[in-house]
């Protein structure tokens, strides 16, 4: 049985570390018991991830997602 995943999409007032744009889209979800968030800047198209509030590489998030399919 697969666990339920909650997804939340918001327009954030955080600042893009690449171009200093202040309007970002953030997508939060729970994967493998961890809260992960994708932040995306529409101005420069930069994207970055956080896992449990800490900066994370996309490969780590993908590993969490693949563990749920084993």
Q: Are 7 and 28 in contact (CB under 8 A)?
A: yes
Q: What is the pLDDT of residues 11-65, one digit of tens each?
A: 666 889 999 998 888 999 998 889 999 999 989 999 999 999 999 999 999 998 8
pTM tops 0.85: no
Reduced to 3 states (helix: H, G, I; strand: E, B; else coil), residue 63 is helix
């Amino acid at each position: 049985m697969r666990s339920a995943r909650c997804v939340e999409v918001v327009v954030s007032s955080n600042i893009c570390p690449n171009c200093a744009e202040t309007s970002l889209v953030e997508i939060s979800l729970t994967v493998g018991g961890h809260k992960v968030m994708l932040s995306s800047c529409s101005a420069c198209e930069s994207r970055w991830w956080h896992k449990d509030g800490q900066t994370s590489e996309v490969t780590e998030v993908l590993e969490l997602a693949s563990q749920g399919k084993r």
